[in-house]
Amino acid sequence: MDELDSQPGQPRGCTHRPRFRTMAHQQTSPRSVELEFGGPLGTAAMLLLLPVVLFHLLLTCHSGPCSLLNLPSELPPTSAFWSPWALLLLLLWLGLQATLYLLPMGKVSEGRMLRDKSHLQYPINGFRCLGLTALLVGLGLAGGLPLGSLSELLLPLASAATAIAFILSLLLYLKSFTAPPSALAPGGNSGNIIYDFFLGRELNPRFGSFDLKYFCELRPGMIGWEAERQGGWPSLAMGLVNAFQLVYVVDALWNEEAILTTMDIIHDGFGFMLAFGDLAWVPFIYSLQAQFLLNHPQSLELPVAGAICLLFAIGYFIFRGANTQKNTFRRDPTDPSVAGLETIPTATGRRLLVSGWWGMVRHPNYLGDLIMALAWSLPCGVTHLLPYFYVVYFTILLVHREDRDERQCLQKYGLAWREYCARVPYRIVPYVY
Ligand code: NDP
């Protein structure tokens, strides 16, 4: 595996300032001094706004007019937002996924070298867990469990997931004070309670070998997103949405090892941002198109469906190709599939790909992801804005994320990153952005 994540490598002669600085006397405990997401005020607003947006979208999606820009005319009673059964169900779900995570199946992979020069071990069994979950859900349905009526518990399930995300983030925040300085994330250690609670102070919080961030990243939310799939195959439009999203989830779990070189794992701490994102936002917001189609069926002509499938295939091809290429290169640069690619050396000893997918734009994986997002919104037609919320939100997220990553890479690689930017001038969309 690779080298230390946060080498000092200050950019020489560059116009950007590094996003955070490592104080000389704290080489193993970086203190974030340049804050992201609008600092304490911005993160405080997001703590409030994210759950509000989540519930606004769920209510709108199930309302008659389904108008994104207006409040639903009738709000359900507060009792509709809470059910002890929903909480119990969610806890059982988390317990099931945690048990499957711990089963000794599949290979164990090594993460990137940490500041204290150690490597963490990660079980790569997410795909098997998805298979076992599907089997258990199938058995439950055959045995007469009323799993089909889960959609009636959507609001209380979303409330329970939000509550669990808040409680988990609080526990993670408190736990981070027991962690050694070298275990803290570079970005979530500002000293401001709200900011650090939001971003997460500890990089890889664990109980024994159980990695909380890695567990939450793909399992309870992603598998949950698939498990709450709506309404079978009643129409071509619903069939496409279900099929595309199934491909996305299966792909993520099949290629689980690739998340070990992503920003979430190597850079971001585990706090509210990821906990809420993984446990509440992904399963309830990413399923909006299917929820929309259940309440507002749309017809789709075969040639249009064919064109949408082609768009999805192009997006998937770029997304998977780029992620696999970078992950393979970072894990083993001598692998025959990447050994011939042109690279730029950096002062850290790590090299940057400058040909192949990563020579086309600086974040080809984001481009593929965005094309797929558009493809699984298009089957919902053009009469409503709501199914396109995902595309708009995801574009903002990835543009902002790309900017964050650029700043981190500039700090890590300095002049080498500037050379990469000069040789690959576009960030996400060739000749556009
Ligand atoms: P990336 O997987 O793009 O990782 C960024 C890192 O890759 C950089 O910090 C750098 O790290 C390395 N890198 C950048 N350029 C090069 C290069 N030219 N050569 C070699 N290495 C390079 O970041 P993300 O974690 O943001 O994204 C992972 C995937 O997850 C993407 O496909 C994204 O679309 C998806 N995603 C999906 C979300 C969703 O909600 N569905 C949310 C966020 C992301 P280093 O050099 O240190 O290795």
Q: Exposed, middle or buried by CB within 10 Å (0-12, 13-18, 19+), for 193?
A: exposed
| pLDDT at site 145 | 82
What's the pTM?
A: 0.86
Both tokens of residue 170? 């609080």
* CB of 206 shorter than 6 A to ligand 1: no
If you average pLDDT over residues 198-207, what whole number do you get? 95
Q: In which band, very low, low, confident or very high, does the pLDDT at 30 lie, cut at 50, 70 and 90? A: low
User: Measuring CA to CA, which residue among 93, 217, 214 is closest to residue 157?
Assistant: 93
Count of C-beta atoms within a 10 Å radius of residue 137: 15
| pLDDT at site 63 | 80
* CB of 352 shorter than 6 A to ligand 1: yes
If you average pLDDT over residues 374-389, what whole number do you get? 93
Q: Are 256 and 223 in contact (CB under 8 A)?
A: no
Q: Are 218 and 253 in contact (CB under 8 A)?
A: yes
- Nearest protein CA to atom 20 of ligand 1, as residue: 352
Half-sphere exposure of 157 (CA within 13 A, CB side): 23
Tell me the CA–centroid distance for residue 262 and ligand 1, in Å.
5
Q: In which band, very low, low, confident or very high, does the pLDDT at 115 lie, cut at 50, 70 and 90? A: confident
Output the CA–CA distances (angstroms, integers) from residue 47 to 166, 195, 391, in the order listed: 9, 10, 22
* CB of 408 shorter than 6 A to ligand 1: yes
* CB of 363 shorter than 6 A to ligand 1: yes
Check residue 49 and report its DSSP letter.
Answer: H
pLDDT at 17 over 50: no
What pLDDT, in 10s, does the model give residues 225-238? 776 665 555 789 99
* CB of 401 shorter than 6 A to ligand 1: yes
What pLDDT, in 10s, does the model give residues 314-337? 999 999 999 999 999 998 999 999
Q: Are 248 and 17 in contact (CB under 8 A)?
A: no
- With a pLDDT cut of 70, the percent of the chain lying above it is 91
| pLDDT at site 273 | 96
Q: What is the mean pLDDT of the chain?
A: 87
The ligand 1 atom at the shortest distance from the C-alpha of residue 358 is: 18
What pLDDT, in 10s, does the model give residues 154-197? 899 999 999 999 999 999 999 999 999 889 998 888 889 999 99
Among 6-15, 43-52, 239-248, 423-432, the range scoring the smallest mean pLDDT is 6-15
Amino acid at 82: W
